[in-house]
Chain A
Amino acid sequence: MRAPGMTLMRMPLTCWGWFVTAILGLLAFGVLLAGGILLLLDRSAGTSFFLPAGLVINDQVQNHSGGSPLLWQHLFWFFGHPEVYIAILPGMGVASHVLSTFARKPVYGYRAMAMAICGIGFLGFMVWGHHMFVSGMSPYSGFAFSVLTMSIGVPSAIKTFNWLGTLWGGKIQLKSPMLFALGFVSLFVSGGLSGLFLAQPAVDNLLHATYYVVAHFHLVMGVAAIFGIFAATYFWFPKMFGRMMSEPLGKIHFWLTFVGTYCIFMPMHFVGIAGGIRRYADASAIEYLQKLQPLHVFMTIAAFITAAAQLIFIFNFFWSLKFGPKAPKNPWDATTLEWTTDSPPPLDNFGGEFPSVYRGPYEFSVPGAKEDFIPQHLAPAQVARAK
């Protein structure tokens, strides 16, 4: 259903993100579905897929035999690890798209960026074992999962350096979507680095049940993905609802959320290294954890402020829906097809006049062109020249 001329290598990187995410979803969710059905049968129909013989609970021997608790962990994480890429890949696409638009530069290494998304999606299916290093896994399997996990650092680093390359020497406009895209890159790197530590089984055995893991995944796939959602919202709100969001409120929202997020999750790493146990209701009664309580107080206050800051976003969203200034067709001087149609688009998206595509998605600051962006649908003859 792609427009004439819209080859795969002319698709915006957002589409690459959604494309690979769709494939990951198709392959991963089915496994969770199967596991979920088996677990329901174990709970309700007396089967023993995940329950071994001789299980004693409340001094009662359970009437199950032959199942393997480890099987659930394998099924769950075979879904669970691709799931984190399902959350983050669209954000990567949005970050690339927004960074390029607001740096007024083509995405550095477009082909490498698209291939890195595919590479991350592919490798994402081979690393689920790193969630299970403490399950009594053989050291040889642990070694294989460890090496494969760290190899995801290669396409991730390609993306990170290409984001920096996109920014390098650009005419950077710090609008709200751009701030959140920059925040995405920052959080992805901060959270990704602790992933390299956790990828080593020897280190993971010590840190697995601590707040270090909580801090790691909240930064890299929790808040980073949320920043991708915020960047997308501020960027596309004018197209979706025909009105602009408030810039000052967006900037206040960004800084409170960005600083707040780091205030919550940076101290959490140190709580984890000091042995702070995760999923533990009351650490105040444990002597060696009592000295960490001041850090917990700091994180809690930061969490309250960050949570309250989201009210600014919700107010901005609904206020702008009603009272924001009317949005033009292309408020950001962007190049891709959604900016050629009305805001919001008509029912069939293009009012019956479907565009043809003549160029790649990120032709910003092309030498010799009159304007600093050339939309994808402009035929070569329509492009205004400087002279």
Chain B
Amino acid sequence: MSSHAQSAHAAPTGFVSKYIFSTDHKVIGIQYFLLALTAVVVGIVLSVLMRFHLVWPNAHLPFVSGGLMTQEQYLALVTMHGTIMVFFVLTTAPQGGFGNYFLPIQIGAPDMAFPRLNMLSFWVTFLAFVAIIAAFVVPGGAPISGWTGYTPLSGIGEVTGPGEGWGPDVVDCQHLAVLPCVTAGRSQFYCHAD
């Protein structure tokens, strides 16, 4: 074990290296957890809007242009609720959050196998979250084809109507953000296997 202990990184001193771009698995775990906490609040708000619309479809909403929620806007809520909840809550908190924090401690290790890769994974996930939230404000609005993004509707683009503009591209780029999950997974896998 001593060789591993020696390879552990020195204590960072600055605020940025200690709390933001930290390679400490414990800080990264808390960052993932707080990201998931933010995402779950967004996801719950979307689901409450959906439940509201199902019961009072003709109610006027203050933040919707024209007051009434359109069917496309409802489908956008379905899509964004599913995508945010699956990728940024259910995948992020249990594995990225608690897995990062407690796996090394429970097996008696000083850190994950690749601490810098681990940090990179979180920040790519963070950028992906910013990108998916941006889908609400891009031209054409958020995608409407569900978190499953079935083709051909999701593959054609703007011609299929509102909600098929840039939003799906944004969400698709967010699919690319599964890359960090792969790198994070690799880091954890080696941590076990070694």
B168 contacts across to A, CB distance below 8 A: 43
How many angstroms from the CA of A41 to the CA of B179 in the assembled complex? 18
Verify if A51 is at the interface (C-beta below 8 Å from B): yes
Determine whether the beta carbon of A23 is less than 8 Å from that of B172.
no
A323 within 8 A of B: no
Per a CB cutoff under 8 Å, which of B104, B105, B178 touches A32? Answer: B178
Taking CB as reference atom, which chain B residue is nearest A2?
A: B107
Q: Report how far A158 CA is from B176 CA in the complex, Å.
A: 36
Docked-complex contact A29 and B176, CB < 8 angstroms: no
Contact of B159 among A57, A83, A317 (CB under 8 A): A57
Give chain B residues whose Cβ lies under 8 Å from the Cβ of A12: 106
Judged by a CB distance under 8 angstroms, whether B108 is at the interface is yes
CB nearest neighbor in B for A313: B37
Residues of B103-158 contacting chain A, CB below 8 A: 103-111, 113, 146, 148-152, 154-157
The number of inter-chain residue pairs (CB within 8 angstroms) is 255
**Cβ of A118 to closest chain B Cβ, rounded Å:** 13
- Taking a contact as CB atoms under 8 Å apart, the answer to whether B44 and A310 are in contact is yes
Within 8 Å of chain B (Cβ to Cβ): is A170?
A: no
Q: Is A153 an interface residue (CB 8 A)?
A: no
Instruction: Describe B's contact surface by its main secondary structure.
Output: helix
Give the contacts of A277-316 with B (CB-CB under 8 A).
279, 281-284, 293, 296-297, 299-300, 303-304, 307, 310, 314
* A357 on interface, CB distance cutoff 8 Å: yes
What 1/0 flags go to B158-172 for Cβ under 8 Å of A?
011100000011001
Closest A residue by C-beta to B107: A2
| Contact present for B192 and A2 (CB under 8 Å) | yes
Given the contacts A1-B113, A69-B150, A72-B150, A86 and B95 also touching, CB distance less than 8 Å: yes
What are the residues of chain B within 8 A of A40 when measuring CB–CB? 169, 172-173
Residue pair B154, A90 in contact (C-beta under 8 Å): no
A39 and B90 within 8 A (CB): no
Q: B95 → chain A, closest Cβ, in Å?
A: 5
Tell me if B105 and A22 are in contact (CB < 8 A). Answer: no
A interface vs B, CB < 8 Å? 1-4, 6, 11-12, 14-15, 18-19, 21-23, 25-26, 29-30, 32-33, 35-37, 39-40, 42-44, 50-52, 55, 57-58, 60, 62, 67, 69, 72-73, 76, 80, 83, 86-87, 90-91, 94, 221-222, 225-226, 228-229, 232-233, 236, 239-240, 279, 281-284, 293, 296-297, 299-300, 303-304, 307, 310, 314, 317, 336-338, 341, 344-345, 347-350, 352, 354-357
Indicate if B61 sits at the interface (CB-CB under 8 A).
no
Assess the A282–B71 pair: CB atoms within 8 A. yes
Supplied contacts A72-B149, A90-B99, A303-B48, 7 more A-B pairs, CB within 8 Å: A14-B103, A26-B189, A42-B151, A69-B151, A94-B98, A307-B44, A317-B37
How distant is B125 from chain A, measured CB to nearest CB, in Å?
Answer: 12
Bound complex: CA of A233 vs CA of B36, how far in Å?
12
Smallest Cβ-Cβ distance to B56: which chain A residue: A300
Is there contact, CB below 8 Å, between A26 and B182? yes
Q: Give the chain B neighbours of A57 by CB distance below 8 A.
A: 156, 159-160
The yes or no answer to B16 lying at the interface (CB within 8 A) is no
- Choice from B24, B159, B160, B178 contacting A33 with Cβ under 8 Å: B178
Q: Do A283 and B54 touch (CB < 8 A)?
A: yes
Which residue, B95, B160, B189, B190, has most C-beta atoms of chain A within 10 A? B95
In the complex, B93 has a CB within 8 A of chain A: yes
B19 contacts chain A at the CB level, 8 A cutoff: no
Can you list 21 A-B pairs with a CB-CB distance of less than 8 A? A3-B109, A14-B106, A29-B178, A36-B172, A36-B175, A39-B175, A44-B169, A50-B151, A60-B159, A67-B151, A72-B149, A73-B150, A80-B148, A83-B91, A94-B98, A221-B90, A226-B89, A236-B102, A296-B55, A354-B1, A354-B110
* CB pair A300 B172 closer than 8 Å: no
A15 touches B103 (CB 8 A): yes
Q: Which residues of B are found within 8 Å of A347, using beta-carbon distances?
A: 8-9, 11, 24
Q: How many angstroms from the CA of A22 to the CA of B96 in the assembled complex?
A: 10
Least CB distance, B33 to chain A, in whole angstroms:
8
Name the distance in Å between B44's Cβ and chain A's nearest Cβ: 5
Question: With A43-B168, A349-B110 in contact, is A90–B98 under 8 Å at CB?
Answer: yes
